[in-house]
Amino acid sequence: MNPSNSKTDKLAIDGGTPVRSQPLPSNFPGANVMGEEEARHAEKVIMARSPFRFYGSDPQYAVQQLETMISKHVDVSYVLGVTSATAGIIVALKALGIGYGDKVIVPSITFIASATAVICCGAVPVFAEVDESLSLDPSDLSRVMDPNVKAIIAVPLLGTPVDMDSIMAFAESNGIAVIEDVAQSCGIMYKGRHQGTIGDIGVFSFQMNKILTAGEGGAVLTNNPKLFERAVRYHDQGMFRPAMKSHFELDIESDEIGAFAGENYRMSEITGAVLIEQWQKLDTLLSNTRRHGKRIKQELRANLPNLKLRDSCDEEGELGSHIAMILPSPERAKQFTQTLQAENIQCMILYQGLPVYRFPSIYYQRTAEKGFNPFDYPFDKPVKYEAGMCPRSESLIARTVFVPISASLKDSDVEDIINGITKVYRGLGWN
Ligand SMILES: *Cc1c(COP(=O)(O)O)cnc(C)c1O
């Protein structure tokens, strides 16, 4: 390619020839590489007629295998398969004993579940700013800290790590817990360690939009045996079954002493079987997105010195699953998105350009409960949400354009993305 030629190219939105004649392949990294291997594993479970993880006529222990596999791969003591990351966050909060009368710090830019899971546990989210990496800004934590705050949820947003050293230091000095919501960024590293294993508890998602998938699914990770016991109990009706004890060689109190009212967030064997195969594809998937992501960033920096890419606290740990460009205004972000889409390069403004507290269920503090509302707790500092509450986050999310980088892109697709962004940025006269 010769980027200097693209300068004179007429934009597709003005009737020029688009950089690509066809849209890029859809960005479902795990689903795109599903095949016979996943089918064979699922078939084994089905033909054994044993789709439940704890017993059956010929149990295959797929979920157990998956848990062992993840625990070795990311170097964490305990892993629990669950039905989703939302379930995983709830299980994590319950394991930490967080509920009515507690507050949890949540980044103002994240998927709605990071905040609503807190509310569903009877606690209340308080929102901190993100910085230009679009992750929780450690320097804003003290602004929202008070004696009711019991935990921080850190979210590596679409493939860029969170500054965990600063967050852990703040949490330790204030005696509060850290949950890593790694739903979007399975496999992401921070300073050589897997995110999800740095805080007290981590959570992965295996829903269709995430890196690996079985349609639905999630995992809870921790190095703390007590938290693991409580997580297992909450996800399985308060029980800690003998199979779980031997699986992780834990000495657990009898149900007579340890049981409490739980729910059912157990992972099915069919999900587990599919994920065993998916997990084995993780490294290949990520080496592709990392290679593509690095190349795109490098060339964009060379071609477009004025284009602001999101910051990163650890470029080596990034997934490369998304390129994020921070434009000077929401109007420009919209114009950029429409112009780039006309070139057949997929891109988006995330979450409708809104911070998570602007979504109605959170903003209006509505729950499904009758006669009980977590927000009614007599906090010294009552919790209210208002527009303008986190001005930097509101500004950033409305003017950031994300371009998904699928693992299944060919080198020529990657060139199209570089050419498309370069053409549009120059074509709009912004360079
Ligand atoms: C998708 C997502 C979740 C929820 O994951 P599910 O498995 O669909 O429940 C939670 N947090 C973040 C940041 C997410 O992106």
Instruction: Give the pLDDT confidence of 221-268 residue by residue, as tens digits.
Output: 999 999 999 999 999 999 999 999 999 989 998 999 999 999 999 999
In this predicted structure, what is the pLDDT of residue 283? 97
Residue whose Cα lies nearest atom 5 of ligand 1: it is 85
Name the amino acid, one letter, at 132.
E
Q: CA-CA distance, 293 to 85, in Å (whole number)?
A: 25
Catalytic residue among 210, 281, 297, 423: 210
Confidence of residue 8 (pLDDT cuts 50, 70, 90): low
114 pocket-lining for ligand 1 (C-beta < 6 Å): yes
Using alpha carbons only, what angle is made at residue 174 by residues 170 and 179, rounded to the nearest 5 degrees? Answer: 65
Average pLDDT value for residue range 389-397: 98
In this predicted structure, what is the pLDDT of residue 5? 52
| Residue of 83, 110, 121, 181 to mutate, ligand 1, most atoms within 8 A of C-beta | 181
Between the CA of 356 and the centroid of ligand 1 the distance, in Å, is 13
Average pLDDT value for residue range 35-51: 98
Higher local confidence (pLDDT), 182 or 256 = 182
Q: Does 423 participate in catalysis according to the annotation?
A: no
400 pocket-lining for ligand 1 (C-beta < 6 Å): no
Terminal-residue alpha carbon distance, the chain: 19
Residue 7 has pLDDT above 60, yes or no: no
Average pLDDT value for residue range 302-313: 97
In this predicted structure, what is the pLDDT of residue 371? 86
Between the CA of 217 and the centroid of ligand 1 the distance, in Å, is 10
Q: What is Dmax (Cα atoms) for the chain?
A: 76
Residue 103 has pLDDT above 50, yes or no: yes
Between the CA of 430 and the centroid of ligand 1 the distance, in Å, is 35
Residue 327, token pair as written in the block: 């434009």
Residue 224, token pair as written in the block: 């703390």
In this predicted structure, what is the pLDDT of residue 1? 45
Higher local confidence (pLDDT), 288 or 1 = 288
Average pLDDT value for residue range 67-81: 98
181 pocket-lining for ligand 1 (C-beta < 6 Å): yes
Q: CA-CA distance, 141 to 327, in Å (whole number)?
A: 26
Q: How many helices (H) and strands (E) does the chain have?
A: 17, 12
